[in-house]
Amino acid sequence: MKDCLVRPVSTTTDSAAIAEIYNHYIRHTVVTFEEVEITAEQMLDRINTITLASLPWLVAEVSGKVVGYAYAGKFHTRSAYRFTAETTVYLEKNASGQGIGTRLYQALLLQLKQKNFHSIIGIIALPNEASVKLHEKFDFKKIGHFSEVGNKFNQWLDVGYWQVVLNA
């Protein structure tokens, strides 16, 4: 998509749009295990946690509207994990299949590589064919599978772990 702009998140203007995108997944899908919608203020707190840790949070914008976001968080808090990040990407419900997720992930992984991150982990609620394809497009390999670890909408759900090593 050529009119898609990928840019750093704005802590003053983007939290409501990001919360709206995410709340769709909370309400209607099993790709997040959250079950209670979040407010723009709660999303702003999450954004601030990431950005204050000097980790990237990016948004995709089309015609001035935020249509997706991606960010990297700490994988774990203990110091030896400092070169490993967990990544996340979400798109507005009508933005799939247009290359926006690819642009976001490409920019996110480039920033992580520039920050000397070594190992990147994608944690995917299963089934989620679109997310699996996106991760594997960037050479993530499935390295783990947990069966029936979440329950949402009265169904047991699996989680898979995908990993890529950036600075090999």
* Domain locations in the chain as residue ranges: 4-165
Question: What is the model's pLDDT at position 2?
Answer: 62
SS (H, E, C) the chain: CCCEEEEECCCCCCHHHHHHHHHHHHHHCCCCCCCCCCCHHHHHHHHHHHHHCCCCEEEEEECCEEEEEEEEEECCCCHHHCCEEEEEEEECCCCCCCCHHHHHHHHHHHHHHHCCCCEEEEEEEECCHHHHHHHHHCCCEEEEEEEEEEEECCEEEEEEEEEEECCC
Is pLDDT above 90 for 16?
A: yes
Mean pLDDT of 70-74: 97
Number of Cβ within a 10 Å radius of residue 24: 16
Mean pLDDT of 4-30: 96
What's the chain's average pLDDT?
Answer: 95
Question: Of 37-41, 47-51, 97-101, where does mean pLDDT reach its minimum?
Answer: 97-101
Higher pLDDT, 11 or 40: 40
Mean pLDDT of 60-71: 96
- Sign of the Cα pseudo-torsion (145, 146, 148, 150, in order): negative
Confidence of residue 1 (pLDDT cuts 50, 70, 90): low
Burial of 80 (0-12, 13-18, 19+ CB in 10 A): exposed
Confidence of residue 168 (pLDDT cuts 50, 70, 90): low
Question: What is the model's pLDDT at position 96?
Answer: 87
Mean pLDDT of 40-46: 97
C-alpha of 38 from chain center? 16
Q: What is the pTM of this model?
A: 0.95
- pLDDT one-digit tens code per residue, 94-136: 988 889 999 999 999 999 999 999 999 999 999 999 999 999 9
Nearest CA to 85 out of 59, 57, 122 is that of 122
CATH node for 4-165: 3.40.630.30
Angle made by CA atoms 100, 102, 107, in degrees to the nearest 5 = 100
Question: What is the model's pLDDT at position 63?
Answer: 93
